[in-house]
Structure formats: structure tokens, C-alpha cells
Amino acid sequence: MSNVTNSDCEANFPRKVVLITGASSGMGKATVEFLSKNDFIIYAGTRHVEGLQAIKQNNIIPITLDITNQSSINQAIDTIYEKHHRIDILINNAGYGLVSTVENLVEEQMQMQFNVNVFGVLRVCKSIIPIMRKQESGIIINISSFLGKIGLPLLTLYNSSKYAVEGITDSLRHELKDFNIRVHSIMPGFFDTKFARDNLVTNLETFDKNSPYSKLVSNLAPVIVDQINNGNDAIEVAQMILEIINNDKFSARATVGDKAKKFIPMRKELSDEDFERKVIEYYGL
Ligand SMILES: NC(=O)c1ccc[n+]([C@@H]2O[C@H](COP(=O)([O-])OP(=O)(O)OC[C@H]3O[C@@H](n4cnc5c(N)ncnc54)[C@H](OP(=O)(O)O)[C@@H]3O)[C@@H](O)[C@H]2O)c1
């Protein structure tokens, strides 16, 4: 009979502690559930913990986290650190999309898009990096988008927020490599999540039937929504996250899903002009 207890094992081989943002649905929730079948302790960050009670178990801990609020971030991180004295993996997943022409942008809508998708990522990184630096290891995975490498009308704010996430990844990789902290981005194509159903914010003037952009809106918006709602399964993102975690030689960024696999290689291989022509043809712009 073995005298080794669970807490002995925990002390000698601590399970990796993961924090994921925006965990209540889509890719976030799929990742929480997928990683929980492996040897991780997962803190599922969400603005509404009550929505995650159903998946709570001993290695899935829902935690209140609003990435637009620094004290909410501090509170979540302090809670995790006090219990485990480490945070091994951060997955910056929370995000949403604003659909608006630039001409119609409302100041608060514009600020909020970057507040969540860009400054939210930076705030959580800023707060966790000192912990990872002290423990001399860490992995940060940013969920960006294939739209972080493509311009599309009506999505200028969303796409530019994801271009920014790509820039954050590239710069942070250099800044943190001497501390044994890896930084990656995942560029998903379109995925069937709550994104188009609940988390697309539409600008009323852009969607007004008398808008000068009404032809563009009626041609493009349903196509994008349809492609998202018929997109890939979020589990593919979760599987990619595990692959990145398990491979310390993994490259800076990964593409997942049909649309990303279609456009990202083209983006690399074609000139800007030829790539733009492909996007015009594909989306009938
Ligand atoms: N679905 C796609 O086609 C697609 C494609 C490429 C990239 N992405 C990116 O993938 C990530 C996950 O999206 P998803 O497709 O899984 O969509 P989702 O099901 O809508 O989940 C997004 C999560 O982000 C959080 N969130 C949404 N709006 C927020 C706000 N205003 N403030 C703070 N948090 C907010 C929510 O978390 P809580 O409610 O739990 O706080 C929500 O669960 C996002 O960054 C998205 O931009 C999605």
C-alpha cells in the first residue's frame, strides 16, 4: 500500500495553474472543459460566475473577472496566487466584435472595442507577468483572429483590435523570452460560438436602411454572420491551445479553422495588392 497522499503529489508535481478570460461560452468554455480532462487547475474567468456553476468541479474554478476593470483583475489574480503561489498559463480569450462604419463610430463604442479586445489583454498580461517572471516560467496565449491580418469594411474597429493583438504577441515575445515566458497567438477562422448571436455590437446608423452604406451592409453583414454561425467547432481551438502548451518549441502563431487556413497562407505568399484582390473576390466587395 502506498503512503503517498494527494497533497504529497501536488507538492512534488504541482498541476499547472491556468487562467482563461471570457470563459462562459464559445472557445473559452470549450477550452476550460477540454483542459480539465488533462492535468490542469483551471480558473475560468468570467463577468458572470453564476453562468459557470454547472461546469464547476475540483479542477474547474469559476472566478469573477472583468478585464476592463483593474481591481477585478487584481482580485482574481490575488485569489489564485494566494492559493497556488503560481500562475503557469494565461489564455487571453475574452473579446467581442463591433460592426460599424468608421463614419458612424460612436466614441463609447470605439473606446469599448479597444478597451476589451486590446487594453483588456494588456491589463491582464501586465498583472500576471510579474508572477511568471518571479517563477521563471509561463505561457501566454492570445486569441486573436484571422481578421488580425485582413482588412474588411464594417469591421475596421474589430479587425484593427485583432491586428493590435498580433502586435502585442510579437513584441511581448521579445520582451519576455529571457524570463522563460512564451507568448503565442491563435488566429481562428470563423467559429460557431455565441459570437455572432450575442456578442456582435451593431451601430444603429450603419444598419439604418437609409444609410449610404446600406448596400454594403445588406451584402456583407449576413454573409459574415452566416459564416460565423456555420463555422468550425470551438473544440479545435481548445485542442490547439493544448498543443501549444505541450510544445515549448511551438511557433509564434497558429491558425485554426477553415477560413484561417484559407486566408493566412495567402496573406504570407501574395503581395498586398494580390491579397486584397482575393479578399474583394471572395467577399464580393
Ligand atoms: N467566433 C468566431 O468566429 C471568432 C473568430 C476569430 C476570433 N474570435 C475571437 O475568439 C474569442 C472568443 O470568442 P468566441 O467566438 O468564443 O465568442 P463568445 O462565445 O461570444 O465568447 C466571448 C467571451 O468573451 C467575453 N466578452 C464578450 N464581450 C465582452 C465584453 N464586452 N467585455 C468583457 N468580456 C467580454 C465573454 O465572457 P464572459 O461573459 O464570460 O465574461 C464571452 O464569453 C474572442 O476574442 C473573439 O474575438 C472569434
Residues at CB less than 6 angstroms from ligand 1 = 22-28, 46-48, 67-68, 93-96, 116, 143, 145, 188, 190-191, 193-195, 198-199, 228, 231
Q: What is the pLDDT of residue 239?
A: 98
The set of cell numbers assigned to 213 is 452604406
Q: How far is the CA of 115 from the centre of ligand 1 (A)?
A: 13
Q: What is the pLDDT of residue 150?
A: 97
Helix (H) and strand (E) counts for the chain? 11, 9
Sheet holding 253-256, edge to edge: 60-64, 40-46, 16-20, 89-92, 138-143, 181-188, 253-256
Mean pLDDT by 10 residues, the chain (285 residues): 48 85 97 96 97 92 98 98 98 98 97 98 98 98 98 98 98 98 98 93 96 97 96 98 98 98 97 97 95
Place of cell 482580485: 75
CATH code assigned to 6-283: 3.40.50.720
Q: Provide CB contacts within 8 A for 64, sequence distance 6+.
A: 45, 46, 47, 49, 72, 75, 76
Minimal-distance CA residue to ligand 1 atom 34: 94
What digits encode the pLDDT tens for the residues 128-173? 999 999 999 999 999 999 999 999 999 999 999 999 999 999 999 9
Q: Is the dihedral of CA 252, 170, 168, 231 positive or negative?
A: negative
Q: What is the pLDDT of residue 114?
A: 98
Rounded to whole angstroms, the Cα distance separating 283 from 275 reads 12
Nearest to 236 by CA among 272, 280, 189, 285: 189
The set of cell numbers assigned to 228 is 460565423
Domain spans of the chain?
Answer: 6-283
Residue whose CB lies within 8 A of the most ligand 1 atoms, among 31, 56, 195, for a mutation test: 195
How many CA atoms within 13 Å lie on the side-chain side of 229?
Answer: 11
CB 101 within 8 A of CB 28: no
Task: Provide the 10 A C-beta neighbour count for residue 4.
Answer: 8
This prediction has a pTM of: 0.95
